[in-house]
Chain A
Amino acid sequence: MMDGAAAARFPEASARALGDENLQAALRLLGEGFQARRTDAVERFAAFEDARDAAVAAKTRTLRHLDRHLETFEARCREHGGVVHWAETPADARQIVLELLTDRGVRVLSKGKTMVAEEIGLNGFLEANGIEVIETDLGEYIIQLAEEAPSHIIVPAIHKTMPQVADLFRQHHDQTGAELFPRRTPADLVAEARAVLRGRFLEADAGLTGANFLVAETGSSVIVTNEGNGDLTQTLPQLHIVLATIEKVVPTLADGAAILRVLARSATGQDMSAYTTVSTGPRRPSDVDGPAEYHVVLVDNGRSRLLGTPAEEVLRCIRCGACMNHCPVYGAVGGHAYGWVYPGPIGAALTPALLGVETARHLPNASSLCGRCEEVCPMRIPLPKIFRYWREQEHAARLNSGRMRLGLAIWGWLAARPRLYRLATGAAMRVLSRLAGRSRRFRSLFLASGWTQSRDFPAPAGRTFLNSWKQRS
């Protein structure tokens, strides 16, 4: 399970990530992979900007009356025979799931991909309580074998290269007959995982999925997948548990349609994912398959506290991953460096809210504020603005470094006094310019080692513009 404290060690973790050649090889694929595919998908769909506006409007409307939509969801879900549970904290949510399983004697749980389960640390908790958890999403399965955390919200094992996956399969599947698979191409590995996991779907006594969204008017949960694992997980076992945070609800199926129109295009560059499944209650009395019980665990874990704050717009997120696919910082260090469940720009905006600014303060700082995330975000979440908000909280709580605070104070004092500023900077630039000599650069410079460790520091011209300009006029 992910330890939230790891988010505080972003600088060390990112340095390690930059030196990890396998990771760098995997991350290099982003440009021609998800970035190029999204660009194509957007170009194919002339109404993309309108679709974005509609999705944003749907979600904004929802959040404004979130309480009512949650109540409607609960009532409709119950009408269809489902049971709704409410959990304020990760511990509450874990306990609810555990009791549902133990009360029914469940030993084996199959699982579709759900980031909320990562957020509440579900797997480790269930395993400690004697329940075997089978991850069925291929990426989640790979990192389960590797005993790692996901490094991407839709491609959990994006940090692994094909040879690394082949190695994992060799370690875990040999002796099961699967050693006959050639393991030469991604297709070989997909076929092997399929063969190994097939039987396991049927072994599970319960299936747990997340929800891309919940629909209030019908009391339904909706999952969007490509593999079909989520559907097997929620169809075959007798018990289906849905884990969803409270902001996932939308009023109507039509609002869901507005989200679907931008989700896959932004995520994988598909016009539509392979499977979009609306589940409503347990199997009907006359149905020949489907679960006998349907439970939805609504998790708050800090969402309600975000409402009404400048960071509340993160609650519009539909978890497409476009922000991380396009973020140059994520592209440099990958997801694990962020130290918690949600990496990349959305993580930098959300993690401080969930773990506290003190723990997660590096994440919103580790951004050049380039804005590429906001540009591709289908829900138009102003991510750089939210990074600045967390930086403001950090500064106000005096959590940033003393050196930074002192530097800003001196600079600000000077910058508000133009005449003095002119004198001081004029003198400093004159000295620097002379020191630079004929090469017009510094290879190292006192107090600027962060710059000069990898860059020359260009010499200033010598005389500042404003000092020269005064003489012209």
Chain B
Amino acid sequence: MSVPGSESGRGRVGLFVTCLADLFRPSVAWASVRLLEQAGFEVTVPDRQTCCGQPAYNAGDLPTARRVARGILDAFEPFDYVVAPSGSCAGMLRLHLGRLFESEPDTATRAEQLARRTHELTEFLVDVAGWTGVAASFPHRVTYHDSCSSLREMAVRDQPRALMAQVQGLELVELGDRDVCCGFGGTFCVKYPDISTKMVSDKTAAIAATGAETVLAGDLGCLLNIAGRLAREGRPVACRHVAEVLAGTNGTDPIVPVGP
């Protein structure tokens, strides 16, 4: 059941890599490809993708967001599914793209169609694919950070947990403040660094309180923020994207290796 390729022909997935995975941590994208292929999908990575447009969208710069969004619409038109290893980017495609084209009905229709085909990775594997073939081992105590967009925009909460439960040796300890933001918020973390620092420090304290060796999450933005703070505080907790653990690509170093 979990042999790669054994369920081929279930549909074509266009992988929305996300700019952060593309630039900072390609292993997240490789892991996503592997998981989607294991679940029996044909994965394509459209060459013309760059970013979901959130930096401009959330800064109120709609013309720029629109320009970037048009590229996405073109790049991801041909696929049965669009899957992103990020609740934040998937949320942008599913919930916000249409709003950008309120005055262009045809484009808005295309955006709505894209929205319906867009999924966050773990949500896709569990809810759409019904996949239960995780073949990975991670004998560690871990905790899981729910990104706000996964939790509130994409209703992703149980799906990553259902998948993690299939990983051999993985022990999940839940965070005390699991529905609270880590303070990343895109440009928020550099525009209001003091407030963001307070928020991420609360989060790293909560992570430390679980006694976990590794913190997992489904969004690289949160992970870079949390990893950066953990490293600065000298806390020996590793950070990884949940896809990396599910795909069994544990050889990769964690985001910022633990230690000085």
Q: Which residues of A contact B (CB under 8 A)?
A: 11, 14-15, 18, 31, 328-329, 332-333, 365-372, 374-375, 388, 390-396, 400, 404-405, 408-409, 411-412, 414-416, 418, 421, 425, 429, 439-441, 443, 448, 450-451, 453-461, 463-466, 468-470, 473
For residue B148, CB closer than 8 A to chain A, the reply is yes
Residue of A nearest to B17 (CB): A465
Point out the residue from B56, B152, B153, B229 that lies within 8 Å of A411, measured CB to CB: B56
When A328-B180, A415-B71, A418-B48 are in contact, do A454 and B229 touch as well, CB less than 8 Å?
A: yes
Residue of B nearest to A418 (CB): B48
B206-220 with Cβ < 8 A to chain A: none
Report yes or no: B228 in contact with A458, Cβ–Cβ below 8 A. Answer: yes
Report yes or no: B227 in contact with A421, Cβ–Cβ below 8 A. Answer: no
Report yes or no: B185 in contact with A367, Cβ–Cβ below 8 A. Answer: yes
Residue of B nearest to A10 (CB): B192
When A418-B49, A458-B224, A458-B256 are in contact, do A369 and B191 touch as well, CB less than 8 Å?
A: no
Point out the residue from B21, B179, B185 that lies within 8 Å of A368, measured CB to CB: B185
For residue B160, CB closer than 8 A to chain A, the reply is no
Do most interface residues of chain B lie in helix, strand or loop, or is the interface mixed? helix
Report yes or no: A425 in contact with B23, Cβ–Cβ below 8 A. Answer: yes
Point out the residue from A391, A408, A421, A453 that lies within 8 Å of B197, measured CB to CB: A453
Point out the residue from B27, B53, B152, B197 that lies within 8 Å of A454, measured CB to CB: B197
Instruction: Return B76 CB to nearest CB of chain A, in Å.
Output: 13
Q: In the assembled complex, which residues on chain A have CB atoms less than 8 Å from the CB atom of B200?
A: 454-455
Q: Which residues of B contact A (CB under 8 A)?
A: 17, 21-27, 29-30, 45, 47-51, 53, 55-62, 64-65, 67-68, 70-71, 148-149, 152-153, 177, 179-181, 183-202, 224-225, 227-229, 231-232, 253, 255-257, 260
> Would you list 29 pairs from A and B whose C-beta atoms are within 8 A, ordered by A residue?
A14-B195, A328-B183, A329-B199, A368-B148, A368-B199, A369-B58, A371-B149, A372-B179, A375-B152, A392-B60, A409-B64, A411-B55, A412-B65, A412-B67, A418-B50, A425-B22, A439-B257, A440-B253, A440-B257, A441-B256, A454-B201, A455-B200, A456-B231, A456-B256, A458-B24, A458-B256, A460-B24, A465-B45, A468-B26
Give 9 nearest A-B pairs by CB, closest first: A368-B185, A391-B60, A455-B228, A450-B190, A412-B64, A370-B181, A465-B26, A395-B60, A370-B148
Report yes or no: B228 in contact with A461, Cβ–Cβ below 8 A. Answer: no
Q: In the assembled complex, which residues on chain A have CB atoms less than 8 Å from the CB atom of B260?
A: 439
Q: In the assembled complex, which residues on chain B have CB atoms less than 8 Å from the CB atom of A450?
A: 189-191, 193
Q: In the assembled complex, which residues on chain A have CB atoms less than 8 Å from the CB atom of B71?
A: 415-416, 418
Q: How far, in whole Å, are A404 and B181 apart by their CA atoms in the complex?
A: 24
Total inter-chain residue pairs, C-beta < 8 Å:
197
Instruction: Return B251 CB to nearest CB of chain A, in Å.
Output: 13
Report yes or no: B193 in contact with A458, Cβ–Cβ below 8 A. Answer: no
Q: How far, in whole Å, are A440 and B259 apart by their CA atoms in the complex?
A: 11
Report yes or no: A408 in contact with B48, Cβ–Cβ below 8 A. Answer: no
Q: In the assembled complex, which residues on chain B have CB atoms less than 8 Å from the CB atom of A367?
A: 185, 188
Report yes or no: B181 in contact with A328, Cβ–Cβ below 8 A. Answer: yes
Report yes or no: B23 in contact with A429, Cβ–Cβ below 8 A. Answer: yes
Instruction: Return B29 CB to nearest CB of chain A, in Å.
Output: 4
Q: In the assembled complex, which residues on chain B have CB atoms less than 8 Å from the CB atom of A459?
A: 256
Report yes or no: A470 in contact with B60, Cβ–Cβ below 8 A. Answer: no
Report yes or no: B68 in contact with A458, Cβ–Cβ below 8 A. Answer: no
Residue of B nearest to A14 (CB): B195
Q: How far, in whole Å, are A439 and B253 apart by their CA atoms in the complex?
A: 11
Instruction: Return B236 CB to nearest CB of chain A, in Å.
Output: 14
